[in-house]
Amino acid sequence: MININALKFLFISIFFAPFIVMASESNVAYLAHTNNFWQVWTMNENGENKQQITSSQFDKTHISWYPDGQHLLVNGHQGRLLKLNLHTKKETPVELPIKGTVDAVISPDGQKIAFSLSVAGSRDNNHIWLVDANGKYLKKLTNMNGLQHEPTWTPDGAWIYFLSSTDRQAHDIWRVSVANKSTEQLTVNQLYHFDLAFSPQGDMAFSSNRAGNYDLWLRNAQGKETAITNHEAIDSRPTFSANGREIIFESSRSGVMNIWHKHIDGDVKQLTFETIGARHPVWWQEKVSGND
């Protein structure tokens, strides 16, 4: 007698498993210099299954995941924004009411975009802005002196952390409330901070030269800060795994910027070996249960 359930399992395994594996493995997106332009690539967390996604003839500068894990918000040179479908590789422009956006990132729920921009035309006077993902309901969140840039969402979407500099001696960490625009300064004149990133559990990683080199630091929910790398090279752009126990980051340890993997308290492994460089990794944070 023919086992119908066994036939169904065989059919799914043969025809659909390759697509399921591809989707689950391509959970790290990054930028690599390819044929004269910075293009979007994907790979898995072990550095395998590398795929070039974009080929349009302009530099990509900043990327962030939509919550579905199937799309990326991509910043392009000269303020272009597009929504990138990873399976079809289609690039759909995202039109905003003002031009010249930088550091644009999609919110954890995929409904809003935060970005940095100066309407005065000076990169030394940028502010943090917020707009719906469809380009409507634009509002300015910060109104401070100096340069406000690199907005980063907290996992719950309630706050946007950013970097602020009123002179050339420090880039401090601030945050602004999405609900009421209230701001709070978290570091004061501790040299340069860059590349903020949050784990789903609420820990924050960043790059700082406060100890002499640009190393990666971890700030937990109680505000305790600990260095998690210690190397003479530049370590930057951390991004967390879904369980918060691992990071992928960019580093100049190989002589040029490439992508590396590290368990928070463990060994470091190089994932990309680009001769010109790879940078800006972002790890899709698929939600996991508290027991994983």
What is the residue-wise DSSP string for 84-111? EETTT--EEE---SSS--EEEEE-TTSS
Copy the structure tokens of residue 11: 């059919």
Q: What is the pTM of this model?
A: 0.87
- Model pLDDT for residues 176-227, shown as the tens digit of each residue: 999 999 999 988 766 678 899 999 999 999 998 887 889 999 998 888 899 9
- Model pLDDT for residues 15-57, shown as the tens digit of each residue: 444 443 344 456 999 999 999 999 999 999 999 999 999 999 9
> Is the pLDDT score of 1 beyond 60?
no
| C-beta contacts of 69-77 below 8 A and 24+ residues apart | 69/23, 69/27, 69/284, 69/286, 70/23, 72/29, 72/40, 72/282, 73/104, 73/105, 73/106, 73/113, 74/40, 75/101, 75/102, 75/103, 75/104
pLDDT band at 167 (very low <50, low <70, confident <90, very high): low
Among 239, 232, 231, which Cα is nearest to 206's? Answer: 239
pLDDT score for 16: 41
pLDDT score for 133: 96
- Model pLDDT for residues 75-96, shown as the tens digit of each residue: 998 888 999 999 999 999 999 9
Q: Backbone phi, then psi, for 198, in 5-degree steps?
A: -115, 140
Average pLDDT over residues 110-137: 87
Q: Return mean pLDDT, the chain.
A: 87
Mapped onto helix, strand or coil, the DSSP state of residue 24 is helix
> Is the pLDDT score of 145 beyond 80?
yes
pLDDT band at 264 (very low <50, low <70, confident <90, very high): very high
Counting Cβ atoms within 10 Å, is residue 278 exposed (0-12), middle (13-18) or buried (19+)?
Answer: buried
Copy the structure tokens of residue 153: 């969402």
> Is the pLDDT score of 2 beyond 60?
no
Going along the chain from its start, the domains and CATH numbers come out as 4-283 (2.120.10.30)
